[in-house]
Amino acid sequence: MNKAELVSSIAEKSNLTKKDTENALNAFMKVVEEALAKGDKVQLVGFGTFEVRERKAREGRNPRNPEEVIQIPASKAPVFKAGKALKEIVNK
């Protein structure tokens, strides 16, 4: 499902216009982005948690030249951890 399909589905279920639904979805994504950029968690009980995890610096291999060792710098990665209710729905 892409963003346009998601907007259509939400609009249908919530009796909002597609334009209002798209504005709400964009606002939700912006708020989550800003929270993660500050290092905060976004918890939606029953659905899941968006958070940022630290990745350590490490050594890697160049796939085109396996003998070449490259240094992969430390970074932050956004992650989503599904909540219990979402897991149960998916695993039905």
CATH of the domain at 79: 4.10.520.10
**Residue 68, SS3 per DSSP:** strand
pLDDT at 72: 94
Same domain, 31 and 44: no
Place of tokens 């912006």: 30
Show the domain range for 57: 39-91
Number of domains in the chain: 2
Phi, psi of 64 (to 5 degrees): -80, -25
Same domain, 32 and 57: no
CA–CA separation, 70 vs 66, rounded Å? 10
Say what the pTM is: 0.79
Same domain, 43 and 81: yes
pLDDT at 68: 92
Cβ(32)–Cβ(42) below 8 Å: yes
Mean pLDDT of 4-8: 95
Express each pLDDT in 12-70 by its tens digit.
Answer: 999 999 999 999 999 999 999 999 999 999 999 999 999 999 999 999 998 999 899 99
Same domain, 80 and 48: yes
Beta strands in 1-92, from DSSP E residues, in sequence order: 42-44, 48-55, 58-62, 65-72, 75-82
- Please, which pLDDT band fits residue 11 given cuts at 50, 70 and 90? very high
Counting every residue written for the chain, the total comes to 92
C-alpha distances in Å from residue 59, one per residue of 63, 70, 72, 86: 13, 6, 6, 36
Express each pLDDT in 74-84 by its tens digit.
Answer: 999 999 999 99
